[in-house]
């Protein structure tokens, strides 16, 4: 039982020692300044980091990109695409109503 506690304690100690700092995050990104870099959550064995466009997870001296934030331009493009699709559907319904009105009555 004592061996298991020592092993668990050693693992936790290694995780705490290798938890990357904001300075290491800045170096990982190749930045000159800390502008826009944040560590919103530090759990001492791992941490979550943010820059202007991405979220990262840091553990054991390494970083992994979690997700990219979508820009306003992306959302604007999505809205424009939806509007175009809606316009196309309306145009099809108009064509259908014109086509059905030209049918001869028996």
pLDDT in tens, 87-96: 555 555 555 5
24 beta partners? none
pLDDT (tens digit per residue) in 56-92: 999 998 898 887 766 555 555 555 565 665 555 555 5
pLDDT at 74: 53
Question: Please, where are the H alpha helices in 1-106?
Answer: 2-17, 22-29, 72-101
Map out the domains of the chain as residue ranges.
1-97
Q: Quick check: 53 pLDDT over 60?
A: yes
pLDDT tens digit string along 37-52?
Answer: 888 888 888 999 988 8
């Amino acid at each position: 039982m004592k061996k298991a506690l020592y092993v668990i304690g050693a693992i936790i100690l290694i995780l705490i020692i290798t938890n990357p700092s904001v300075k290491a995050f800045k170096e990982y990104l190749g930045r000159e300044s800390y502008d826009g870099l944040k560590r919103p959550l530090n759990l001492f064995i791992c941490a979550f980091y943010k820059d202007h466009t991405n979220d990262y997870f840091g553990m054991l001296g390494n970083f992994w990109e979690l997700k990219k934030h979508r820009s306003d331009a992306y959302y604007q493009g999505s809205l424009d695409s939806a509007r175009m699709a809606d316009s196309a559907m309306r145009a099809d319904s108009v064509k259908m109503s014109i086509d059905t009105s030209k049918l001869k009555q028996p």
